Amino acid sequence: MHINITDSEEGTNKGSSSQLVHYLEKENRVRPKYGEEDPEYWFNQERRDVPSYEVRIALDNNVAKLSKTDAKFFLINISPSRKELAFLKERYGEAQIKEKLKEYSISVMDEYARNFKRPGVESSKDLLWFGKVEEHRYYSHKDSEVKQGVKKRGELKEGDQWHVQVVVSRKDITNRIKLSPMNKSRGRNQKHSLRIGQFDRKAFAASGERIFDEKFGFERGLTESFLYTNTMKNGTVEQRLLMRKGRGINTENTIYSHQLSPEHEPVKESLLDSLLLKPEPDYSPAVFRRKKKRRRNDQGLRL
């Protein structure tokens, strides 16, 4: 599961949402080309039939006390993996995938609201947001297939490409509370967090996997988890090595065992493991001061 938050996919998020909403209507504009007449409407926790103009009006009117340079909305991309989509198709049938993704997205937005840890913002009902299920992805100039001339820009990508785009207002449903997922506060400064809120994007991304697994009964291997990917990218040497051996690190940096399925057996000791064990250079200020003093002494001896 890949979940990320951006300012906007098309245009800026400091003005009207019209450009982004229009962009996300792209599949409705090409549906007749593929023999699909009925449009795909927007949805939230209350409705499944929200037209695009209502989305734009609601978002653009929910900007009380925001300046011209403030973000007015954010875009959340919810992209299940091929394996997760195949699981949903096998369990519920292809006809139900769209509805299951909508149900899942509502749960994700519940978690989004709770992540702020703000009184009065406890579920998706306290947010102003709209989601759009997209069935296709298209080749762009960034794809290697287009660069190599194998595919043309704008062609449909093969396989299941179901994903969800969510546009959420910077202000809560009451138009009173500012909520920014770009805020880097994680609650360490209580006064600061109470004033502007807090949001842990890593915890939010990890919660998306937990919700999917609990909601649909999906069994996720360690190497398929956000915890594994994030640790291998940003963890310490010790944490990365433990992950490669099939163990995990919890948020308090203590070790816990992780049950592995046969296809996710830990890899054997390798050259990479020995390289990971190599101590990292010490760049502390004390070390720099000692080296600087040593250089001065060396220069004095040379004189």
CATH code (residue 52)? 3.30.930
Q: Is the pTM of this model over 0.85?
A: no
Q: How far apart are CA 172 and CA 36, in angstroms?
A: 35
- 16-51 as b/e: b if 16+ CB within 10 A: bbbbbbeebbebeeebeeeeeeeebbbbbbeeeebe
Question: What digits encode the pLDDT tens for the residues 149-191?
Answer: 999 998 889 999 999 999 999 999 999 999 999 876 655 555 6
| Nearest to 69, CA basis, from 196, 184, 170 | 170
Q: Are residues 212 and 266 in the same domain?
A: no
Task: Work out whether the CA dihedral 21, 26, 27, 33 comes out positive or negative.
Answer: positive
Q: Are residues 195 and 284 in the same domain?
A: no
Domain boundary among 216, 243, 274: 216
Q: What integer pLDDT is reported at residue 19 of this predicted model?
A: 93
Q: Are residues 121 and 20 in the same domain?
A: yes
Q: Where are the alpha helices (DSSP H) in 4-122?
A: 18-23, 26-30, 52-60, 82-92, 97-115
Q: What integer pLDDT is reported at residue 114 of this predicted model?
A: 95
Alpha carbon distance, N-terminus to C-terminus of the chain:
64
Give me the mean pLDDT over the 247-258 stretch. 42
pLDDT at 206 over 50: yes
Question: What digits encode the pLDDT tens for the residues 119-159?
Answer: 999 999 999 999 999 998 888 888 999 999 999 998 889 99
Side by side, the strands of the sheet bearing 73-79 are: 2-6, 73-79, 163-172, 127-134
pLDDT at 248 over 60: no
Per cent of the chain over pLDDT 70 is 75
Q: What integer pLDDT is reported at residue 264 of this predicted model?
A: 37
Q: Are residues 189 and 227 in the same domain?
A: no
Q: Are residues 85 and 226 in the same domain?
A: no
Q: How far apart are CA 81 and CA 89, in angstroms?
A: 12
Q: Are residues 153 and 263 in the same domain?
A: no
H/E element, 241:
helix 237-244
Q: Are residues 59 and 194 in the same domain?
A: yes
Min mean pLDDT across 63-67, 78-82, 182-186, 296-300 is at: 296-300
H/E element, 256:
strand 255-257
Domain boundary among 216, 233, 256: 216
Q: Are residues 158 and 271 in the same domain?
A: no
Confidence label for 266 from pLDDT (cuts 50, 70 and 90) = very low
Give me the mean pLDDT over the 47-75 stretch. 96
Which two tokens mark 114?
């709770």
Question: CA–CA distance from 77 to each of 107, 128, 157 (Å)?
Answer: 14, 16, 18
- Tell me what the pLDDT averaged over the chain comes to: 81
Confidence label for 194 from pLDDT (cuts 50, 70 and 90) = low
Q: Are residues 180 and 239 in the same domain?
A: no
Q: Are residues 212 and 230 in the same domain?
A: no
pLDDT at 18 over 80: yes
40 vs 302, which has greater pLDDT?
40
Domain boundaries, position 180: 2-216
Domain boundary among 216, 245, 280: 216
pLDDT at 192 over 80: no
**Amino acid in position 255:** I
Question: What digits encode the pLDDT tens for the residues 69-112?
Answer: 999 999 999 999 999 999 999 999 999 999 999 999 999 999 99
Give me the mean pLDDT over the 194-207 stretch. 80
Q: Are residues 200 and 56 in the same domain?
A: yes
Q: What are φ and ψ of residue 79, in 5° steps?
A: -125, 100
Q: Are residues 146 and 277 in the same domain?
A: no
Number of domains into which the chain is organized: 2
Q: How far apart are CA 274 and CA 284, in angstroms?
A: 24
